[in-house]
């Protein structure tokens, strides 16, 4: 391919004459001269006038037969960033659409970022938003990056490596996602060469050294395929496919294969006139050579997420040589190489490009949804990267709708792919009509049914197995909001309890006092203050003092902790900012104390727990709490059962506990000697009365000699500093 920077505006105008009118070409020329004037006196690192870069970008887009507005935007894409010209000035000269395209492509250079990674992430976020308005933004950006990659050699090595890494991480996958295979391959080859020059040279030399040996075998296989198709009267053309350096390197690295193992596979592409012929060619090559079981893929019936369509099969060729064959129509070939750009390059075909366009738009709107829910730009880019590297699987809804998901996806990923609300409220799933765990990895072809229940919410544990960016960002978003509202609620209760000791409550505190405390703590709102208290980052007693203007006023009495309003009631439904200590497992009916743990909220301990003995009287770290009379839920408690060894005794113990309406969370056996064993159990009970009933039933078992509750287990680190075991 000709390097685009070699073109002049006149030679570009000649090329454009093949598909654009004179008036359109003149507007593009006008944009070029405007850019030339704007960039006057600016030079690239290679020494060329800067305007050669936008001209080269426009030339790349002209090869895709892009429309005049895209070509004008390509000419002007660096004007806003690198010169004093504003978006308004471009809008006045060339119209709203061109100005929006230029703005979408322009980099963020006026905002200070804490790191280069954050700058790249913000940059990509801006591009995603512009893409949602107009998909041409991404095509101009890709052409811009492609020319920069072609001219990398003039940059210093560290900058070269950084740009190459960003291209391989973001731009090559975007080109792939949009079906632009030719551009993706060039990105990968140029990026690989810049990032790993030594490896690229060695693989290139190895490929050249075996090319002569391969040529003869390639020719023999190609001749036999062509002869077979001619006999069957199937019009087609057969092309031998060269393996690219980066794909060879990636296969060697990811599949741990040697160079010779990868190069032993011979690849061909058969291109035919219509879809029906594709399947007839498949039958013909399967009769010529034996197919490898399980290696046939039909991407015509079920296209890839980027619109790619083809039949893939692997055959045992002569002398057992593996042969990979792709079979597709001319339109599919154009789509595979140009992707979304085929919308402009092959406008005569209405059906295919509109599909590519729809898929690209769906993807971009998915990006925007992820962006809205991501906590920051780095989290967003992490989610996007997950979505940009999918080996797709295809699964069905019970009604037969196909969903494409990345390999390794689970039922939770599938639920979020259907709709955010379905994901948030899913409780179980059926995979091919059988009940399955939500964490089970899905396989292509399975039918997945999601079971939802009102009032349920995402489980934080899902983050350990979901793989799609949409699922991850939605779960994080929900949990973040839930934790915020729970922290605010707990903070309000703690602060009102502390204020009651000073004869006040939050609703009666003067606004000027609240404003003064917010200024002192550098917080924006009362909710922020309450959240900080609820998370344990600020002490409610100290904030109450400041709010009532008692702190620092001479002679003001400070009421001791015991004289403050009663205690805080624990309802058992406080959620993520209220935890129950794992060292003593308190349950309703036990005397309890609340420990404020920074960043975690409140941790409830049993009153006699050894781990908080040293800080029980510290009013800044501990709060007087009691159980609400209507406390709800199930609470974990630990039991130690000593029993005689008998066949089936553990099963009978488990049955007894279950019959007493208690769930067993965990069971472990420690053998004491040949005759006696100790069984440790974690069980769920409602309160002390329920626990007493369970223990009574266990004692009745003949083999059981003793049942005790484990009330306080020493943690590795004393709680003076932090309670890390909760």
- Catalytic residue, chosen from 36, 81, 264, 298, is 81
Q: Which residues contact 661 (CB under 8 A, 6 or more apart)?
A: 690
With b for 16 or more beta-carbon neighbours within 10 A and e for fewer, the 559-594 pattern comes to: eeeeebeeebebebebebbbbbbebbbbbbbbebbb
Encoded tokens for 659: 């019959």
Burial of 96 from C-beta contacts in 10 A (0-12 / 13-18 / 19+):
exposed
Q: Which residues of 120-154 are buried (b: 16+ CB within 10 A; e: fewer)?
A: bbbbbbbbbebbbebbbbbbbbbbbbbbbbbbbee
Return the structure tokens found at 179: 């079906």
- Are 635 and 557 in contact, with CB atoms under 8 Å apart? no
Burial call 467-502: b when 16+ CB within 10 Å, e when fewer: bbbbbbbbbbbbbeebbbebbbbbbbbbbbbbbebb
C-alpha dihedral, 276 to 281 to 287 to 290, nearest 10°: -110
Is 413 considered catalytic here?
Answer: no
Q: Residue 429: how many CB atoms within 10 A of its CB?
A: 22
Distance separating alpha carbons of residues 97 and 436, to the nearest angstrom:
50
Task: Give the separation between CA 207 and CA 215, rounded to whole angstroms.
Answer: 12
Helix (H, G, I), strand (E, B) or coil at 398: coil
Contact between 39 and 65 (Cβ < 8 Å)? no
What residues contact residue 561 under an 8 Å CB cut-off, 6+ apart? 501, 541, 619, 624
Q: Which two tokens stand for residue 258?
A: 């040697």
Tokens of 518: 């917010």
Rounded distance between C-alpha atoms, residue 327 and residue 276, angstroms: 11
At 713 the three-state DSSP class reads: coil
In the residue annotation, 10 being an active-site residue is answered as no
Residue 355, helix vs strand vs coil: helix
Return all residues near 393 (Cβ < 8 A) that are at least 6 apart.
Answer: 404, 405, 406, 407, 409, 442, 443, 444
CA 147/CA 294 separation, integer angstroms:
41
The C-alpha atoms of residue 103 and residue 108 are separated, in whole angstroms, by 10
Contacts 24+ apart (CB under 8 A), 31-35: 31/71, 31/72, 31/75, 31/76, 31/94, 31/98, 32/58, 32/75, 34/75, 34/76, 34/79, 34/93, 34/94, 35/75, 35/76, 35/78, 35/79
Determine which one of 15, 36, 48, 82 is catalytic: 82
Helical segments of 329-427, H only: 330-338, 342-345, 351-373, 377-388, 411-418, 420-424
Buried b (16+ CB within 10 A) or exposed e, 379-418: bbbebbebbbebebbbbbeeeeeebbbbeebbbbbbbbbe
Residue 626: helix, strand or coil by DSSP? strand
What Cα–Cα distance (Å) separates residue 690 from each residue in 29, 275, 656, 679? Answer: 85, 69, 14, 20
> Which DSSP letter does residue 519 get?
H
Task: Please identify every residue annotated as catalytic.
Answer: 81-82
């Amino acid at each position: 391919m000709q390097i685009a920077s070699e073109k002049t505006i006149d030679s570009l105008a000649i090329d454009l004459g093949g598909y654009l009118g004179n008036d359109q070409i003149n507007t593009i020329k006008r944009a070029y001269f405007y850019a030339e004037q704007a960039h006057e006196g600016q030079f690239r690192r290679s020494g060329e006038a800067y305007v050669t870069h936008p001209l080269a970008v426009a030339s790349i887009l002209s090869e895709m037969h892009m429309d005049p507005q895209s070509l004008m935007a390509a000419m002007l894409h660096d004007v806003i960033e690198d010169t004093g010209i504003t978006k308004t000035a471009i809008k006045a000269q060339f119209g709203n659409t061109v100005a929006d395209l230029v703005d979408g492509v322009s980099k963020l250079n006026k905002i200070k970022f804490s790191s280069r990674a954050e700058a790249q992430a913000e940059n990509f976020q801006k591009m995603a938003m512009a893409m949602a308005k107009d998909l041409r933004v991404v095509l101009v950006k890709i052409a811009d990056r492609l020319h920069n990659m072609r001219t990398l050699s003039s940059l210093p090595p560290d900058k070269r490596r950084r740009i190459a890494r960003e291209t391989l991480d973001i731009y090559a996958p975007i080109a792939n996602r949009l079906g632009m295979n030719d551009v993706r391959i060039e990105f990968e080859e140029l990026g690989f060469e810049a990032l790993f020059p030594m490896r690229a040279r060695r693989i290139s030399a190895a490929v050249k050294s075996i090319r002569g040996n391969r040529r003869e075998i390639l020719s023999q296989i190609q001749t036999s395929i062509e002869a077979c198709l001619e006999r069957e009267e199937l019009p087609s053309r057969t092309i031998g496919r060269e393996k690219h350096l980066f794909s060879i390197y990636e296969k060697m690295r990811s599949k741990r294969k040697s160079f010779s193992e990868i190069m032993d596979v011979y690849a061909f592409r058969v291109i035919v006139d219509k879809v029906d012929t594709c399947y007839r060619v498949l039958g013909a090559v399967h009769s010529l050579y034996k197919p490898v079981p399980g290696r046939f893929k039909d991407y015509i019936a079920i296209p890839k997420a980027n619109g790619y369509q083809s039949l893939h099969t692997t055959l045992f060729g002569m002398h057992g040589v593996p042969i990979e064959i792709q079979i597709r129509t001319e339109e599919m070939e154009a789509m595979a190489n140009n992707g979304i750009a085929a919308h402009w390059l092959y406008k005569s075909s209405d059906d295919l490009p509109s599909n590519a366009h729809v898929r690209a738009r769906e993807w971009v709107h998915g990006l925007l949804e992820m962006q809205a829910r991501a906590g920051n730009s780095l989290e967003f880019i992490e989610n996007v990267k997950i979505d940009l590297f999918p080996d797709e699987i295809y699964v069905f809804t019970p009604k037969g709708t196909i969903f494409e998901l990345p390999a390794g996806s689970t039922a939770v990923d599938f639920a979020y792919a259907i709709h955010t609300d379905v994901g948030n409220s899913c409780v179980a799933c059926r995979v091919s009509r059988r009940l399955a765990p939500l964490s089970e990895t899905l396989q292509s072809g399975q039918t997945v049914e999601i079971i939802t229940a009102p009032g349920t919410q995402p489980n934080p544990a899902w983050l350990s197995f979901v793989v799609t960016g949409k699922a991850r960002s939605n779960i994080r978003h929900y949990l973040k909001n839930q934790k915020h509202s729970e922290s605010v609620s707990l903070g309000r209760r703690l602060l009102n309890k502390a204020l009651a000791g000073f004869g006040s409550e939050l609703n009666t505190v003067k606004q000027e006092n609240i404003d003064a405390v917010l200024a002192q703590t550098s917080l924006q709102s009362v909710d922020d203050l309450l959240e900080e208290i609820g998370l344990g980052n600020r002490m409610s007693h100290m904030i109450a003092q400041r709010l009532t203007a008692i702190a620092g006023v001479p002679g003001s009495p400070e009421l001791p902790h015991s004289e403050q309003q009663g205690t805080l009631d624990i309802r058992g439904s406080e959620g993520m900012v209220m935890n129950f200590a794992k060292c003593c497992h308190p349950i309703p009916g036990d005397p309890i104390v609340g420990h404020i743990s920074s960043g975690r909220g409140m941790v409830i301990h049993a009153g006699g727990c050894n781990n908080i003995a040293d800080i029980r009287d510290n009013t800044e770290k501990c709060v007087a709490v009691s159980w609400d009379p209507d406390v709800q839920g199930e609470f974990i408690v630990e039991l130690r059962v000593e029993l005689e060894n008998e066949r089936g005794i553990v099963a009978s113990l488990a049955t007894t506990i279950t019959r007493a309406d208690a769930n067993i969370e965990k069971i472990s056996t420690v053998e004491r000697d040949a005759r006696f064993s100790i069984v440790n159990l974690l069980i769920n009970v409602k309160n002390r009365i329920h626990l007493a009933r369970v223990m009574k039933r266990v004692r009745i078992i003949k083999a059981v000699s003793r049942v005790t509750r484990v009330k306080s287990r020493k943690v590795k680190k004393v709680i003076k500093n932090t309670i890390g075991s909760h």
